[in-house]
Amino acid sequence: MEQDQNAPLREDVRLLGAELGTVLQEQAGEALFNTVETIRQATVESRSQGEMPVGRLRELLDPLDDETLVEVARAFSQFLNLANIAEQRHRERLRRQHQRFPGDPDTDRGLRQVLAELKNAGIDQTQIIDVLQALSVELVLTAHPTEVTRRTLIRKYDRIGDLLAKRDRPDLTDEESAHLHRLLREQTLSIWSTDEIRRQRPTPVDEAKWGFATIEQSLWQAVPRAMRGVAEELSAADMQALTTDWVPIRFASWMGGDRDGNPNVTAKVTREVLHLARWMAADLYLRDVENLLADLSMHRASDELLARTGPSHEPYRLLLRAVRDRLRNTRAQMEARVAGQPEPAGDNYTHGWQLREDLALLDRSLRTVGLAAIADGQLKDTLIRLNCFGITLLRLDIRQESTRHMQAVDAITRYLDLGRYEKWSEEEKQQFLLEELQNRRPLVDQGFFESEYCSPEVREILDTCAVIAEQGSEGLGAYVISMAKKPSDVLAVMLLQKAAGVSQPMRVVPLFETLDDLNNALDTMSALLALPLYRERVAGGQEIMIGYSDSAKDAGFLGAAWAQYRAQEQLTAIFREHRVPLTLFHGRGGSLSRGGSPTRTALLSQPPGSIAGRIRVTEQGEVIRFKYGRPTVAAYNLQQYIATTLEATLLPPAQPKPEWRSEMDRLTQASVQAYREVVRDDPALVAYLRTVTPETELSRLALGSRPARRKASGGVESLRAIPWVFAWTQMRLMLPAWLGTGKALETGLSEAPETLRSMSDEWPFFQAVVDMLEMVLAKSDPRVAAWYEERLTEDPELQRLGVELRSRLARTVAALSRLTGRENLLDNNPAMRWSIRVRDPYTDPLHLLQAELMARLRDRPEEPLLESALMVTIAGIAAGMRNTG
């Protein structure tokens, strides 16, 4: 079954590789083509024999001059991108198979299977409908790790994906097939002729526009498609229809709002991004309205509509013209605000309900006069979009680090001659904050802003709160406090919003992200819930963010995962006790060490009861393109979130057994100790990271608007979690995802093997840990890592650490094999194993090229050609590994 199922994927990979080869011959010459082919064949032959062809590749690469190295790197990098397109297209193929043959065990699990399982479990349809009606899934698009691939290339890759889809048609004529082949050649040539590297670092506004483009090019089509698919599945299950305005999916963004450690995100930037989002929303609705104007030419209308339009042969068009004019005015006014120009006069849409009222009137009229089939066409799609995106396109979160708020309040207390807030005890801070939250007088006057106490950093905090006040709540989401530790961290943000005159405050969301913070989350939130004022403020619901990146960097993957699990359990229990609805916001990334895993695996491995019909999740960087870059794939992934959130709510996993908890405590203690004795205690670790991995060189790549470091100098603690993961991924050691876990597995297998195996067989949380660990270990390669070390350092201490790390990696693989009983990694997932292996002949040369280029560039740091070649290898390896960080 597997061979037949994946045959089209192999054919597409072969086709695209051949097209790239032809372009290479034509554009770069036969000599370069032969060089690339010789390198590729040497790698294929050696890999088939289980070897890393270091010696042979070095012989082939050493004689090449800098310019040739660039072209060789580009060739291998582009093949990996083309292979990714083929895999993306194959996923679409499998989705169609899933729709045609939903009982096929080799296809993914969707809403149909979930509904059938709920029925078999005896869950009443009324309960299912109630949960679905209240379901809330919010996906938060973030810019980090910023997509490595340029937007102009993404568009070209998407066109190739479209052409592959058209080639799948069984009724293609020879002429049509030849035409598609010519178009494939044209796109491949266009890609080869385009610079892969972004030469200028994007601004936060650029990042926001990238997020808007994802909505425009994919999600705008995907959301109605997903909702129609859900409705069809409910109908097929003989379940009653949900209310017409039901859309459980919402989108938010951090692009232009995440100022934690990013001095480029200012109040001015946030204001501009909010205006641009409203501009884009108005523009997209205008396109919909133009289509509706062309279609809704009928004259039969309800009395309600005619009372609005007056007698007319085309009342629908009459109203739609007024809607169009209002949308045009909205767009023009937002454009004027962005440009700092006077706003044109005219009626506009300031709230989503205004546009919804107009469109709902058309919908009611069509249904009243017997034209429901027309109402269920394009108009329904537009109403679905409006219920999902509103007139603000998405909701913008604000994120800032807790000490910045403390500094702002401290400046205010000093200005008021009340003392140093920073020096007060937690009890004194809370008392002051609570009193001021209930005080009706202004906290500060204009004199504060002109005083010495209002530093530029403090002013920026207060200016941000002023933007919140002026923009209103419709386009704003959560105010996230990173590094939240104490109740005062939450109360301070509430007070700063009040001081700025925010009439509808943003919900304040503490982010618990280090190991200590996760372990103390229950105490922090219990203290807040003990305050009557706070309980009153959150009676309608509390949101708490769980951090994956910094907790994993702090404690290692396994230790962080267990701390996240326990924190969610405890928080779920305390809020249930207080009868306050809780939404857990998962700050996941693309890599395993940052919480990355398939949607269903991720949600069903959470503690029982923690997903009570509500979930909020970050979708980051290249993951956005892989999951939402194409409408069909995006629609499938949106349906997966709906189906799995329903399943996790009504069929949650069983509580872990007491012996499993005890064993996890023991395992994580061993894991954290083993992780920290390398990351914190080995003095060679930082030097190894900066010498043997491309961590230092990553700063040359114009990835995102945010600096890679919180501080200009410092060790691992100053490095952000994303470049920390990215650097180790580039040289295939994948250290953040497994370090410490091998020691834990060895401990469990030696002292409680049956308990460990029962955890692996029966506990979804631990099953997810094992499955994802196996996948990331399959991507690691100690032979590649050894080449970087051999080429880049002669320091005995660094060589000693390298040997130690590779030894720990080998022991981790061996321990995992003993636990699973599988001799080779991914024996249970041949499709994934093939996906990794087919890339090896193309990633191997890139790895060796990268190490060679790092060495040359460190000798000649101002050589632009070397820098370009290195950047190409970074992007190419990221494509081969399918993630950055």
Ramachandran angles phi, psi of 24, nearest 5°: -60, -45
What pLDDT does 146 receive?
42
CA 804 – CA 845 distance, rounded (Å): 25
Strands 582-587 and 395-401: unpaired
Strands 582-587 and 542-547: parallel
Q: What is the DSSP string of 511-570?
A: EE-SHHHHHTHHHHHHHHHTSHHHHHHTTT-EEEEEESHHHHHHH-HHHHHHHHHHHHHH
Could you tell me the sign of the dihedral formed by the alpha carbons of 478, 482, 487, 491, in that order?
Answer: negative
User: Could you give the angle at which helices 426-437 and 487-499 cross, rounded to 10 degrees?
Assistant: 30
CA 199 – CA 730 distance, rounded (Å): 20
Say if residue 675 is exposed, middle or buried (CB neighbours under 10 Å; 0-12, 13-18, 19+). buried
Sequence-ordered list of residues with C-beta below 8 angstroms from that of 314, at least 6 positions apart, any chain? 297, 298, 299
- 546 has which bridge partners? 512, 586
Whether the CB-CB separation of 596 and 627 falls below 8 Å is answered with: no
Whether the CB-CB separation of 518 and 512 falls below 8 Å is answered with: yes
Whether the CB-CB separation of 660 and 759 falls below 8 Å is answered with: yes
| pTM reported for the whole predicted model | 0.90
What pLDDT does 2 receive?
45
CA 597 – CA 617 distance, rounded (Å): 12
Ramachandran angles phi, psi of 508, nearest 5°: -100, 125
Whether the CB-CB separation of 24 and 32 falls below 8 Å is answered with: yes
Q: How many CB atoms neighbour CB 92 within 10 A? A: 18
Task: Supply 302's token pair.
Answer: 């309800």
3-state DSSP assignment of residue 103? coil
What pLDDT does 864 receive?
85
> Mean pLDDT for each consecutive 10-residue tract of the chain (885 residues)?
68 91 93 90 77 75 85 91 87 72 53 94 94 96 64 86 91 93 94 81 87 93 96 92 89 94 93 97 98 96 96 95 97 95 92 96 97 96 97 97 97 96 97 96 92 95 96 94 96 97 95 93 97 96 91 88 96 97 84 60 91 92 83 92 96 94 96 95 94 87 56 60 83 93 96 95 94 91 92 96 97 95 84 79 88 90 86 88 61
To which residue do tokens 């019909």 refer? Answer: 613
To which residue do tokens 């006014």 refer? Answer: 333
Residue type, 801: L
Which residue in 471, 397, 483 sits closest to 141, CA to CA? 397
Q: How many CB atoms neighbour CB 143 within 10 A? A: 27
What pLDDT does 740 receive?
95
What pLDDT does 883 receive?
56
Q: How many CB atoms neighbour CB 297 within 10 A? A: 10
DSSP conformation class of 699: G
Whether the CB-CB separation of 875 and 850 falls below 8 Å is answered with: no
Ramachandran angles phi, psi of 860, nearest 5°: -130, 70
In the 3-class helix/strand/coil scheme, how is 30-43 assigned residue by residue? HHHHHHHHHHHHHH
Whether the CB-CB separation of 146 and 621 falls below 8 Å is answered with: yes
Residue type, 813: V
DSSP conformation class of 709: B
CA distances from 696 to 54, 328, 458, 689 (A): 24, 48, 32, 9
Whether the CB-CB separation of 648 and 107 falls below 8 Å is answered with: no
In the 3-class helix/strand/coil scheme, how is 751-783 assigned residue by residue? HCHHHHHHHHHHCHHHHHHHHHHHHHHHHCCHH
What pLDDT does 717 receive?
64
- 618 has which bridge partners? 140
Which residue in 533, 546, 623, 552 sits closest to 582, CA to CA? 546
Ramachandran angles phi, psi of 510, nearest 5°: -70, 140
What pLDDT does 668 receive?
96
Which residue in 246, 127, 245, 136 sits closest to 540, CA to CA? 136
CA 759 – CA 751 distance, rounded (Å): 14
3-state DSSP assignment of residue 544? strand
Q: Can you give the residue ranges of every domain in the chain?
A: 1-108+151-194+829-885, 658-828
Element (H, E) at 477: strand 476-482
Element (H, E) at 547: strand 542-547
Catalytic residues: 144, 553
Task: Supply 404's token pair.
Answer: 């910045």
Task: Supply 541's token pair.
Answer: 């619901």
Say if residue 520 is exposed, middle or buried (CB neighbours under 10 Å; 0-12, 13-18, 19+). middle
3-state DSSP assignment of residue 721? helix
3-state DSSP assignment of residue 137? strand
